[in-house]
Amino acid sequence: MSEQIKLGDLTIFMQRKRVKHIYLRVLAPDGRVTLVAPIGIQLVVIHAFAVSKLSWIQKQQTKLQSQVREAPRQLVEHESHTVWGHHYVLQVVEKQAKPCVLLNQQSIILQVRPGSDLSRRAAVMHAWYKSLLHGVVPGLIEQWQDRLGVSVSAYFLQRMKTRWGSCNPRTRHIRLNTDLVTRPKDLLEYVVVHEMVHLLEASHNKRFVALMDQYYPAWREATAELNQLPLAAVRPRG
């Protein structure tokens, strides 16, 4: 059952689930705030957590209010980009050196050779996205293999137009959309778990739902956030 936390004019819609940590979300497009909390945690602790995040909530709502649905990226100076759910300003540096991408607290620095066109810049960025995912995905798979009692034989990263991930139970392969690097890491974890649960149940049937409820109780909230974020033209499918 959903509860509400009032912080002045702000309403936070809260649910208690069998989770270990508190999850706070500011959802697009209207800035609605949701919170998922462990079942046994005291309300005063939840309230204190929400108060501590008030400034962050306001910043996220302000960004959403000023944000139209993102146009296709042109990879030019001062363009806004998102990595692991955080917004950065793009800096483009043309240099006679090997193309690369660097990340600091406020900026993504895209270094390309002079005269590089959009397709070449996009290729450099995509390779960087894949490198970031390769740094996280193997650990998630290893962690969840133990929990689920399954084995993934291989994973693949690629651009996907209509889904966040897919699984082939016969080959035990999973595929992940490289756009997941723009989402918070816990949403990447959700998609990994979603696809790995298909190694236990191939269909999206009642058994699959029961398994997700057992192993990843906040999966519905994660699905909703993935589907409401800007650029969310794709969603988890088997």
Whole-number pLDDT of residue 228: 63
Tokens representing 199? 């190694």
Confidence tier at 231 by pLDDT (50, 70, 90): very low
Check if the beta carbon of residue 72 is closer than 8 Å to that of residue 81: no
| pTM exceeds 0.85, yes or no | no
Check if the beta carbon of residue 27 is closer than 8 Å to that of residue 223: no
Domains of the chain, earliest start first: 3-66 (no CATH), 80-125 (no CATH), 135-228 (3.30.2010.10)
212 pLDDT higher than 70: yes
- Evaluated on CA atoms 159, 109, 134, 87, the torsion sign reads negative
Tens of pLDDT, residues 129-147:
999 999 999 999 999 999 9
Check if the beta carbon of residue 120 is closer than 8 Å to that of residue 110: no
Residues 6+ apart with CB under 8 A from 36: 14, 15, 16, 17, 19, 22, 23, 218, 221
Instruction: Report which of residues 38 and 1 the model is more confident about.
Output: 38
d(CA 80, CA 73): 9
Q: Is 31 left (phi over 0), alpha (psi -120 to 50) or beta?
A: left
Check if the beta carbon of residue 181 is closer than 8 Å to that of residue 137: no
Tens of pLDDT, residues 86-123:
889 999 999 999 999 999 988 999 999 999 999 999 99
E-only strand ranges, 18-164? 23-27, 32-38, 80-83, 86-94, 100-103, 107-112, 154-158
Whole-number pLDDT of residue 70: 53
Tens of pLDDT, residues 53-74:
999 998 888 877 765 445 567 8
Residue 72, preceding peptide bond in cis (omega within 30° of 0): no
